[in-house]
């Protein structure tokens, strides 16, 4: 989230699209109801299903899953046509005036540079025109035919209300009504917030869904505003934290990236990570990259990371492929190329697409280690549960370990919520049975592995030996020790350049803020964006001062919000070129003539002059990007692509199937179904009564939603002779499920490109272990393909067939 | 660390402070004793309170866990008897959704793991093992695989120091501190097949 | 000169067999228990009566079972006596002279058979009300039959049950009072016989019929 | 909600019937306000109720709807009921969601119907509660209730329903469901406060086009201590059959009123008539002549 949960109360309009906040985040959704009750804010919900969010919305419109980009580009086209643009913001704070170089083009759904055999683009033409000093050229009048503004205008022109309706199945009047409501927030003192979640990410073009909305928010001047922003409602309690800490194949903590094979040394590595400003006088904050990288390396390897060995550059592995994400992991496993796998609090058998493939893949491992407080299906993939899990244990040669770990109630530490708040918690109960903390288990595995290497020698033990391990109890480091390490400390005295008799930084102290991090090895920090969370003033994450003097939901002294305890990202954009707030009543910061101040921490240098330094300091341009140069694999502008499994052909580019730049593994392409065999558009989702595959273990939650079901319209039920509460069988090209039928008015057939499209809703949550009735798992059906940029599986749009059934065979 | 918080939220204004079971102080005039006894004594009396965060979604609601039998001096935290929302928390203001409201059932789920278990190749059952056995065996399996498949240099001779045949899926609800510990260990072995639950 | 007791006993007329008497007393006891337990649940001022049954819960549990006993027991009486309780012209005449009957001046009232119109009314009244009671009782016997009726039906049932119970108890009062007032009646249900004089005075036609029966014998003779 | 003391207003089946009255002003009565326009049907209230009251419900099945369990039970004291309604006037679908449970009537039908002294009590603050040590499990409360709320347990054979968390209110806290409710669709305070809050909510709903929005505080039962804000207050029936104009059934009123008094009177009169009759007339005795005449007939002499 660019903003925070409590900030939603400041909004004028909430757009819930690509998510279902009322069901998935009820206590966060509270702030929507607050905005409605106290500010008279309006709520719009756009979703294939009339959800519980829709039940309290002022306006609901249906949309066929996987067509959000068409809808949003249609809204952008509407805003341009009807002059509903926050002009001062767009001209100055976005890349609208930047000029794109000649040779860039777009035709029939493809940008220049596409190579069909590689399913990839050569992105060289997606760039600006630069002047002699290396700065991008601009046309402040927005007249240049190749300025971003005009390219955008041209790009969105084909998404007329009629075309939107034809693609999305949203009635034209409904689309126009929503576009009009959204357009009202182009007034400088009106804001809209976007609340989305996996309804936008779990598509083969998920990143572009979100990008499209971000562009829309920029044009409306809603980024950086209180009550505005792009609010990604993260799914799990600390998935923000695990991502911040870089627990992904290609990341280092704080969104630094791992080196690739093409970067044999630090110098080469830094070449692509210099981030020089592309406009004069702009911040381009990533210029500090090396400080964060070196400080990270010092945290990892301590004294072993020296200037001579490029700060331990080779201790880290290098990537030969863009990523080893979960889809690739299970593809490799399925090919028999992996031997061992660890699942820490994670249940891939139920969570990843194409359950049959996942089960087969796990069966090819030599060993599987599951660390979990609950008995997961993954740990039991080899068990036979009849139709629910048709394994033959005698044929599965995997050695499986199930290690009991603590859960929240027995555990201490911090979790980072969607608002980017790091909140500390304490245990309330002793560990029972032989349950151990994850820290203990991981430390034990490491220490035993390291001991084996010390005893026997073996492949490259150097990094393991160099790894810092300065804990009072090396067998179980304490949460506080680890938190201090994440924050970072001063390793050597640093004299004050202004007065060498004074020390700028004193050895042994905690680093107070990431601005103090250095690239000369004198500071360490496990994660630069968390720097400031545990300083010499104490554990900032444990702060519990809930006063809010501004009344704007800032809560400055509650826990610690990364970065730098900032609550609203890009908050500099909430004021105009003179530094005057667009809306004085909802102002996070303002320019007082010499510096920025206000209830929030400025997201800019405190003395950066408002008419000179533009607000989006993390970009090289200093402004919000309406056009991306080469950071997106599938295009500098979003394009409507159908899901890989779609009931209709792509109206704007009939020859393109799915996202042309999305990675598809061999064998998975053949497992895509077509609309002839599988005529119905399916979508998976959460229900408010359950959390993922966890609460099915809880008796009380099992009572609230006891049994796996699918939802269909009354029309489809009639057509297929399906009874409310009766059994149905749902088939996809990859598998089948049997479920109870919820027949509802809340799903209605849509008309897309002249064709009736029926939606089949398939909630997740049920498995073959726990307190609920046994269920199949929605991932029995879903396709094994991910987003082109970050490989999030396409769970939200695929094809199925459905028919009445007699229920699961009892085994 | 046990956080004991005063019960300042117990009462509305104008009421006397309450400690332990003090139902009698609450104006039961005119109610026969038997009837007063029929109202259940306030069940959170005599519990200790600990602040925590709901482990489910990313709203990060504050919760209070009420434990019985805590003994600070003996280092005992006791057993949690009730969990509800933390009224001091700015986001949830004491409220909790149906998942958060049922957290006690999560803590006490029948299907929680309790002991280290192993399932041997081809077997159709779990066997309970000691932690030492499990951890040593895992370390051995890791080392054998790593020694056999570790790639120190790629075909071009570039040092790459990667290990691709074993992978690690990190959690979505463990603490940042656990995540950091995990990060350090996983990366130091050269593992690249490393991901978390951000996408599902 | 009055007849000696011996003489009277020698001339006692058999009115009820042992079976009939047992049947009657089972019914009577059930009815009394039902009245007591029912009244306890009917009006708070009599709730103390639940003490007789071991408390409110037991009262609530026992009451319907006694009702079942009463129903079958009364059904026995009904089968036994239904023919004798059919209405006839004598009854109409008897009813017309009800005033005289109440003044104990039965000489001028037409002779009646085994049952007079009043007794027949008690019989039919009880039959009808017990039918109402058992039906409505089942409808509100929630322990076993909750699912078979709607709440609205239960509300009518509980009202009907109360009304029928009031009726039944009133009839029972009349029945008991009549038995007490008309001396010599109670022994019909204790010993099974009445004196010839009682029969002569109250059920002369019945006495004549008995006399005419060939196998008539005085009990104990 | 200061100074809301728990004092008894009424007890069921107590000699003299009603012994007291509710606190005179709304300021001294508590109330729960359920705003259906804010409710998202998440069932947090159901879970919070089960957890606070240490209740355990059985895991059921799906019957084609979201309502789970399918009805109130002795353990489920509150239940979210869903209604899908095509609003023909606007042409839009509405998903009406109502939290069902005891309404805590000012004139409680259950209390009126209950035969066991003190098994049902009403406090002056308006809370109607069941006292299980006195409950005999007769189910009369079910017949008395205009909202179909109480349920008898098969195991304990006693009646159960929402207590308005009287144990929490007794220590100055609101009910568990109101505490949990994520969107604060459930509020708790004095009845006066809740009416005020409702007014604000109704105004907001009217501004959003719900002309018939209003407060459901049915006068037929003297008002309730659980009130609803409804978008369609003109049609409460839409909300999973919420009664349009609830009142204690006239049948129950008759049963617990006229019939009770008239019945006792009738039985009394009958008994008294007997006594009087006997006093005036004396016993109806068989005379010696009767015996002689009888014997004569017996012996065939006549």
Find the CB nearest D68 among A40, A52, A706. A706
Residue C64 forms part of a structural domain:
yes
Q: Identify whether residues B31 and B84 lie together within a single domain.
A: yes
A202: nearest Cα among A679, A629, A779, A757: A779
Distance between terminal CA atoms of chain B?
A: 33
pLDDT, mean of residues A36-58: 97
Q: Give chain B's domain count.
A: 3
Average model confidence (pLDDT) for chain C?
A: 90
- A208 plus A63 within the same structural domain: yes
Distance between CA atoms of residues B173 and B17, nearest Å: 38
C144 chain-D contacts, CB cut-off 8 A: none
Asked whether residue C2 is assigned to any structural domain, the reply reads: no
Q: What is the mean pLDDT of residues A349-374?
A: 97
Tell me, yes or no, whether C108 lies in a domain. Answer: yes
| CB within 8 Å of A81: residues ≥ 6 apart | none
Partner residue facing D65 (CB), from A26, A742, A771: A742
pLDDT in tens, A763-788: 999 999 999 999 999 999 999 999 99
Structure tokens at A93: 């704070």
Q: Are residues C191 and C115 in the same domain?
A: yes
How many domains does the structure of chain A reveal? Answer: 4
pLDDT tens profile A425-482 = 999 999 999 999 999 999 999 999 999 999 999 999 999 999 999 999 999 999 999 9
> In terms of CA atoms, which chain D residue is nearest residue B103?
D51
- Closest approach of chain B CAs to the CA of D72, in angstroms? 17
Average pLDDT of span A248-253: 96
**Residue A439 and residue A482: Cα distance in Å, rounded?**
10
Residue C146 inside a domain? The answer is no
Q: Does residue B72 sit in the same domain as residue B28?
A: yes
Assess whether A765 and A798 both reside in one domain. Answer: yes
Q: How many domains does chain C have?
A: 2
If asked whether residues B29 and B103 sit together in one domain, one would say yes
Half-sphere exposure of D88 (CA within 13 A, CB side): 0
Q: Residues C183, C94: one domain?
A: yes
Give the range of the structural domain holding residue A509, as residue numbers without chain letter: 240-319+473-540
Please check whether residues C103 and C192 belong to one and the same domain.
yes
Gyration radius from chain B CA atoms: 25
| Predicted local distance difference test score (pLDDT) of residue C104 | 83
Q: Is residue B4 part of a domain?
A: no
Would you place residue A197 in the very low, low, confident or very high pLDDT band (cuts 50, 70, 90)?
very high
Contact flag D62-A742 (C-beta cutoff 8 Å): yes
| Alpha-carbon distances of A187 from A83, A183, A192, D1, rounded to whole Å | 11, 8, 10, 43
What ipTM was assigned to the predicted interfaces of this complex? Answer: 0.93
Scanning chain D, the segments in alpha helix (DSSP H) are 44-52, 109-113, 140-144, 166-169, 176-180, 191-207, 250-256, 258-281, 288-298
What is the nearest CA distance from C181 to chain D, expressed in angstroms?
Answer: 5
Q: Are residues C206 and C106 in the same domain?
A: yes
Residues 6+ apart with CB under 8 A from A502: A495, A496
Report, as an integer, the average pLDDT of A631-644.
Answer: 96
Those chains having 3 or more beta-carbon pairs within 8 angstroms of chain C are: D
List, as one string, the DSSP characters of D74-128.
SS--EEEEEEEEEETTTTEEEEEEEEEE---BSS-HHHHH--STTTEEEETTS-E
Specify the residue for token string 């680093």.
A511
Kindly state whether residues A277 and A230 are assigned to the same domain. Answer: no
> Measured between alpha carbons, how far is A569 from A1 in angstroms, rounded to an integer?
9
Q: Which of A679, B79, A714, A325 is nearest to D84 (CA)?
A: A714
Quick one: pLDDT at residue C105?
82
**pLDDT tens, position by position, A61-93:** 999 999 999 999 999 999 999 999 999 999 999
Q: Are residues B167 and B117 in the same domain?
A: no
Check whether residue A363 and residue A454 sit in a common domain. yes
Band (pLDDT 50/70/90 cuts) for residue B37 is: low
Paired with A230 in beta bridges are A194
- How buried is residue B20: exposed, middle or buried, by Cβ count under 10 Å (0-12/13-18/19+)? exposed
3-state secondary structure of B179: helix
Q: Does any domain span residue C107? A: yes
Task: Indicate if the pLDDT at residue B1 is higher than 70.
Answer: no
Q: What whole-number distance in Å separates Cα of residue A264 and Cα of residue B157?
A: 10
Going by pLDDT thresholds of 50, 70 and 90, the confidence category of residue B198 is: confident
Task: State the nearest Cα–Cα gap between A69 and chain D, in angstroms.
Answer: 25
**Residue B33: predicted pLDDT:** 46
Cβ of A346 within 8 Å of Cβ of B161? The answer is: no
Residues B28, B89: one domain?
yes
% helix / strand / coil in chain C, to the nearest 5? 75, 0, 25
Tokens of A708: 């796996």
- Place B30 in a pLDDT band, splitting at 50, 70 and 90: very low
Active site (catalytic) residues of C: 175
Residues in CB range of B166: below 8 A, 6 or more apart = A338, A339, A340, A341, A342, B142, B145, B146, B149, B191, B193
Judged by a CB distance cut-off of 8 A, whether residue D132 touches chain B is yes
A681-to-A384, A678, A798 alpha-carbon distances in Å: 31, 8, 6
| Domains of chain D with bracketed CATH | 8-248 (3.30.70.20), 257-298 (no CATH)
Q: Is the pLDDT of residue B44 over 90?
A: yes
Within 8 A of D15 by CB-CB distance, chain C residues are 44-45
D120-123 sheet: strands from edge to edge:
D8-11, D120-123, D128-130
The confidence band for C110, taking pLDDT boundaries of 50, 70 and 90, is confident
Q: Are residues C69 and C92 both part of a single domain? A: no
Q: Would you state the pLDDT for residue A678?
A: 97
Mean of the per-residue pLDDT values for chain A? 96
Is D184 part of the contact surface with chain B (CB cutoff 8 Å)? yes
Query: Is the pLDDT reported for residue C2 higher than 90?
Result: no
Give pLDDT, residue D37: 97
Asked whether at least 3 C-beta pairs link A and B within 8 Å, the reply is yes
Phi/psi-derived region of residue A119, left when phi > 0, alpha when psi is between -120 and 50, beta in every other case: left
CATH code for the domain of C98: 1.20.950.20
Residue A136 lies inside a defined structural domain of this protein:
no
CB atoms within 10 A of CB A507: 12
Domain shared by A198 and A58, yes or no = yes
Q: What is the span of the domain harbouring residue B125? A: 113-143
Domain span at residue C201? 86-136+153-210
8 Å CB contact of D157 and C143 = yes
Whether A327 and A335 have beta carbons less than 8 Å apart is answered as: no
D4 has a pLDDT exceeding 60: no
Same domain, B99 and B174: no
pLDDT greater than 50 at residue D14: yes
Give yes or no for a cis peptide into A321 (omega within 30° of 0).
no
- Amino acid B22: pLDDT: 30
pLDDT at A283 over 70: yes
Rounded CA gap, A151 and A238, in Å?
39
Q: Is C56 helix (H, G, I), strand (E, B) or coil?
A: helix
* pLDDT 10s digits, A364-406: 999 999 999 999 999 999 999 999 999 999 999 999 999 999 9
* Residue A572 in tokens: 């500099």
Q: Does residue D18 surpass a pLDDT of 60? A: no
In degrees and rounded to multiples of 5, residue A189 shows phi and psi of: -105, 20
The reply to whether C216 falls in a domain is: no
**Tokens for A256?**
């630094």
Give the tokens for residue D146: 């205009």
pLDDT of residue C6: 78
> Are both C170 and C200 inside the same structural domain?
yes
Q: Using an 8 Å Cβ cutoff, are A282 and A620 in contact?
A: yes
Tokens of B199: 């996408």
CATH number of B39's domain = 3.30.200.210
In our burial notation (b when 16+ CB lie closer than 10 A, e otherwise), range A432-469 reads: eeebbbbbbbbbbbbbbbbebbeeeebbbbebbebbbb
Residue A134 belongs to a domain: no
Task: Give yes or no: residues B168 and B131 share one domain.
Answer: no
Contact partners, residue D170, CB within 8 Å, separation at least 6:
B23, B26, B39, B42, D6
B20 vs A461, which has greater pLDDT?
A461
C41 domain residue, yes or no: yes
All residues of chain A having their beta carbon less than 8 Å from the beta carbon of residue D56 are 699
Distance from the Cα of C157 to chain D's closest Cα (Å) equals: 10
The Cα D73–Cα D181 span in angstroms is 21
pLDDT score at D297: 87
Give pLDDT tens digits for B105-157. Answer: 999 999 999 999 999 999 999 999 999 999 999 999 999 999 999 999 999 99
Q: Where in A119-243 does DSSP place strands (E)?
A: 120-121, 192-196, 230-232
The strand pair at A59-61 and A110-111 is best described as unpaired
* In a domain? residue C132: yes
In a domain? residue B11: no
Residues B121 and B188 in one domain: no
Residue C4: φ, ψ to 5°: -75, 160
The pLDDT, as a whole number, for residue B47 is 93
Please report whether residue A145 resides in a domain. no
Name residue B15's beta-bridge partners: none
Q: Which of A670, A680, A674, A665 is nearest to A785 (CA)?
A: A665
Residue D5's pLDDT is 55
> Do residues B101 and B28 share a domain?
yes
- Residue A274, pLDDT score: 78
Q: Say which residues have a Cβ less than 8 Å from residue D258's Cβ, sequence separation at least 6.
A: none
Residue A80 lies in a domain: yes
CB pairs under 8 A between A and D: 121
Three-state secondary structure string covering A677-727:
CCCEEEEEECCCCCCCCCHHHCHHHHHHCCCCEEEEEHHHHHHHCCCCCCE
pTM of the model: 0.93
In this prediction, residue A259 has a pLDDT band, given cuts at 50, 70 and 90, of very high
User: Which residues of chain B neighbour A411 with C-beta distances below 8 Å?
Assistant: 175
What is the four-CA torsion angle of A349, A351, A353, A354, rounded to 10 degrees? 30
CATH number at residue A59: 3.40.228.10
Average pLDDT over residues A723-748: 97
Co-location of B84 and B27 in the same domain? yes
| pLDDT at position B39 | 79
Contact D6 B28 (CB under 8 A): yes
The two tokens of residue A706 are 């006891």
In a domain, A611, yes or no: yes
**Final residue before a domain boundary, out of C63, C81, C99:** C81
Residue C127 and residue C37 share a domain = no
**Domain ends where: C81, C104, C124?**
C81
Query: What pLDDT score was predicted for residue D301?
Result: 61
Is there a domain that residue A142 lies in?
no
């Amino acid at each position: 989230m660019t903003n925070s949960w409590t900030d939603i109360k400041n909004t004028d309009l909430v757009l819930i699209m690509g998510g279902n906040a009322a069901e998935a985040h009820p206590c966060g959704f509270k702030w929507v109801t607050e905005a409605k009750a106290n500010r008279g804010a309006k709520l719009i919900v756009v979703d294939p299903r009339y959800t519980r969010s829709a039940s309290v919305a002022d306006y609901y419109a249906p949309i066929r899953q996987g067509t959000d980009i068409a809808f949003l580009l249609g809204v952008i086209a509407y805003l341009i046509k009807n002059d509903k643009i926050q002009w001062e913001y767009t001209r100055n704070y976005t890349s609208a005036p930047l000029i794109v170089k000649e040779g860039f083009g777009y035709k029939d759904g493809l940008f220049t540079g596409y190579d069909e055999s590689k399913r990839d683009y050569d992105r060289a033409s997606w760039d600006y025109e630069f002047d002699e000093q290396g700065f991008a050229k601009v046309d402040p009048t927005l007249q240049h035919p190749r300025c971003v503004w005009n390219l955008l205008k041209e790009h969105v022109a084909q998404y007329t209300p009629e075309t939107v309706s034809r693609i999305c199945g949203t009635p034209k009047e409904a689309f126009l009504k929503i576009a009009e409501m959204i357009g009202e927030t182009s007034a400088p003192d009106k804001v809209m917030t976007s609340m989305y979640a996996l309804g936008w990410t779990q598509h083969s073009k998920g990143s572009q869904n979100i990008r499209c909305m971000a562009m829309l928010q920029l044009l409306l001047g809603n980024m950086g505003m209180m009550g505005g922003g792009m609010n990604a409602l993260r799914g799990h309690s600390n998935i923000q934290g695990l991502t911040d800490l870089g627990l992904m194949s290609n990341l280092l903590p704080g969104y630094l990236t791992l080196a690739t094979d093409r970067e044999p040394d630090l110098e080469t590595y830094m070449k692509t990570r210099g981030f020089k400003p592309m406009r004069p006088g702009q911040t381009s904050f990533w210029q500090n990259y090396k400080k964060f990288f070196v400080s990270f390396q010092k945290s990892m390897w301590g004294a072993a990371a020296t200037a001579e060995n490029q700060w331990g550059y080779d201790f880290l592995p290098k990537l030969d492929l863009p990523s080893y994400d979960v889809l690739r992991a299970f593809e490799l496993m399925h090919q028999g190329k992996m031997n061992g796998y660890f699942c820490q609090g994670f249940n891939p058998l139920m969570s990843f697409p194409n359950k049959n493939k996942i089960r087969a893949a796990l069966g090819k491992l030599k060993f599987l280690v599951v660390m979990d407080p609950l008995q997961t299906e993954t740990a039991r993939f080899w068990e036979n549960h009849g139709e629910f899990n048709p394994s033959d244990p005698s044929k599965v040669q995997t050695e499986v370990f199930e290690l009991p770990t603590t859960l929240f109630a027995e555990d201490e530490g911090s979790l980072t919520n969607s608002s980017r708040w790091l909140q500390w918690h304490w245990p309330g109960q002793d560990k029972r049975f032989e349950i151990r903390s994850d820290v203990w288990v991981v430390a034990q595995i490491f220490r035993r592995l390291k001991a084996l290497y010390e005893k026997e020698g073996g492949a490259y033990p150097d990094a393991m030996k160099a790894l810092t391990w300065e804990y009072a109890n090396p067998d179980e480091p304490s949460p506080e020790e680890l938190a201090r390490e994440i924050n970072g400390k001063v390793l050597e005295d640093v004299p004050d350049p202004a007065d060498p008799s004074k020390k700028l930084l004193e050895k042994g102290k905690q680093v107070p803020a990431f601005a103090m991090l250095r690239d000369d090895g004198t500071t360490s920090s496990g994660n630069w964006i968390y720097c400031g969370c545990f300083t010499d003033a104490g554990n900032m994450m444990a702060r519990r001062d809930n006063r809010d003097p501004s009344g704007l939901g800032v809560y400055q002294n509650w826990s610690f919000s990364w970065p730098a305890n900032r609550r609203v990202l890009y908050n500099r954009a909430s004021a105009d070129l003179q530094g005057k707030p667009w809306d004085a009543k909802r102002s996070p910061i303002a320019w007082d003539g010499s510096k920025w101040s206000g209830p929030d921490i400025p997201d800019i240098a405190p003395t950066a002059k408002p008419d000179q330094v533009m607000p989006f300091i993390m970009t090289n341009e200093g402004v919000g990007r309406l056009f991306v140069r080469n950071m997106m694999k599938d295009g500098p502008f979003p394009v409507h692509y159908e899901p890989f499994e779609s009931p209709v052909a792509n109206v704007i580019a009939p020859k393109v199937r799915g996202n042309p730049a999305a990675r598809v593994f061999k064998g998975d392409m053949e497992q895509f179904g077509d609309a002839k065999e599988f005529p119905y558009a399916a979508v998976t989702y959460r229900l408010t009564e359950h959390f993922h595959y966890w609460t099915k273990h809880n008796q009380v939650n099992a009572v609230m939603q006891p049994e796996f079901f699918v939802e269909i319209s009354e029309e489809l039920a009639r057509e297929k002779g399906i009874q409310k509460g009766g059994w149905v069988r749902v088939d996809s090209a990859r598998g089948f499920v049997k479920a109870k039928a919820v027949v509802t008015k809340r799903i209605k057939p849509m008309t897309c490109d002249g064709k009736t499209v029926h939606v089949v809703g398939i909630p997740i949550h049920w498995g073959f272990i726990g307190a609920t009735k046994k269920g199949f798992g929605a991932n029995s059906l879903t396709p094994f393909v991910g987003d082109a940029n970050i490989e999030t599986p396409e769970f939200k749009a695929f094809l199925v067939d459905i028919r009445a059934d007699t229920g699961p065979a009892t085994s | 660390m046990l956080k004991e918080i005063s019960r300042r939220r117990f009462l509305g204004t104008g009421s006397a402070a309450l400690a332990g079971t003090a139902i009698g102080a609450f104006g039961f005039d005119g109610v026969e004793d038997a009837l007063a006894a029929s109202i259940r004594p306030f069940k959170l009396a005599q519990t200790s309170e600990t602040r925590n965060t709901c482990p489910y979604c990313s709203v990060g609601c504050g919760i209070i866990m009420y434990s019985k039998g805590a003994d600070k001096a003996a280092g005992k935290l006791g057993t949690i008897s009730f969990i509800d929302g933390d009224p001091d928390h700015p986001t949830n203001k004491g409220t909790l959704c149906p998942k958060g409201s049922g957290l006690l059932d999560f803590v006490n789920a029948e299907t929680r793991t309790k002991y280290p278990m192993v399932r041997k190749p081809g077997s159709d059952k779990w066997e309970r093992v000691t932690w030492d056995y499990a951890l040593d065996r895992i370390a051995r399996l890791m080392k054998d695989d790593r020694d056999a498949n570790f790639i120190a240099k790629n075909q071009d001779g570039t040092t790459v120091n990667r290990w691709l045949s074993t992978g690690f899926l990190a959690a979505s609800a463990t603490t940042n501190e656990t995540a950091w510990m995990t990060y350090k260990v996983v990366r130091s072995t050269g593992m690249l097949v490393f991901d978390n639950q951000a996408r599902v | 000169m009055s007849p000696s007791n011996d003489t009277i006993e020698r001339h006692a007329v058999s009115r009820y067999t042992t079976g009939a008497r047992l049947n009657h007393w089972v019914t009577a006891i059930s009815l009394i228990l039902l009245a007591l337990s029912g009244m306890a649940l009917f009006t708070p001022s009599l709730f103390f009566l639940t003490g007789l049954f071991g408390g409110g819960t037991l009262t609530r549990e026992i009451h319907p079972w006694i009702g079942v006993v009463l129903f079958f027991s009364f059904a026995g009486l009904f089968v036994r006596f239904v023919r004798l309780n059919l209405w006839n012209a004598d009854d109409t005449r008897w009813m017309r002279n009800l005033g005289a009957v109440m003044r104990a001046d039965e000489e001028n009232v037409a002779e009646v058979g085994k049952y007079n119109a009043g007794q027949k009314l008690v019989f039919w009244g009880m039959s009808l009300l017990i039918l109402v009671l058992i039906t409505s009782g089942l409808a509100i016997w929630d322990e076993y039959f909750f699912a078979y009726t709607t709440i609205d039906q239960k509300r009518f049932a509980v009202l009907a049950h109360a009304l029928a119970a009031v009726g039944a108890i009133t009839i029972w009062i009349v029945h008991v009072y009549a038995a007490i007032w008309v001396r010599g009646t109670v022994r019909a249900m204790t010993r099974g016989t009445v004196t010839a004089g009682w029969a002569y005075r109250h059920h002369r036609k019945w006495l004549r019929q008995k006399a005419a029966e060939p196998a008539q014998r005085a009990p104990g003779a | 909600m200061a100074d809301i003391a728990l004092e008894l207003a009424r007890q069921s089946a107590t000699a003299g019937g009603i012994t007291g009255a509710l606190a005179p002003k709304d300021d001294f009565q508590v109330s729960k306000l359920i705003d259906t326009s804010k409710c998202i049907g998440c069932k947090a209230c159901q879970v919070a109720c089960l957890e606070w009251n240490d209740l355990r419900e059985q895991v059921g099945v799906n019957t084609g709807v979201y309502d789970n369990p399918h009805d109130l039970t002795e353990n489920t004291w509150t239940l979210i009921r869903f209604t899908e309604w095509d609003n023909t006037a606007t042409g839009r679908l509405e998903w009406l969601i109502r939290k069902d449970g005891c309404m805590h009537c000012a004139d409680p039908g259950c209390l009126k119907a209950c035969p066991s002294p003190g098994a049902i009590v009403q406090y002056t603050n308006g809370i109607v509660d069941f006292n299980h040590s006195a409950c005999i499990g007769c189910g009369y409360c079910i017949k008395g209730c205009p909202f179909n709320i109480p349920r008898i347990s098969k195991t304990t054979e006693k009646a159960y329903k929402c207590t308005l968390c009287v144990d929490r209110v007794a220590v100055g806290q609101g009910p568990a469901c109101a505490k949990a409710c994520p969107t604060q669709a459930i509020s708790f305070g004095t009845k006066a406060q809740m009416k005020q809050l409702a007014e604000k909510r109704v105004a907001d709903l009217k501004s959003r086009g719900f002309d018939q929005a209003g407060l459901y505080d049915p006068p037929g039962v003297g008002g309730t201590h659980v009130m609803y804000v409804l978008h369609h207050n003109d049609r409460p029936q839409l909300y999973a059959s919420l009664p349009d104009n609830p009142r204690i059934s006239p049948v129950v009123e008759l049963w617990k009123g006229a019939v009770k008094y008239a019945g006792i009177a009738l039985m009394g009169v009958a008994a008294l008539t007997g006594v009087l009759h006997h006093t005036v007339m004396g016993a109806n005795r068989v005379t010696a002549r009767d015996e002689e005449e009888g014997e004569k007939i017996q012996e065939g002499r006549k």
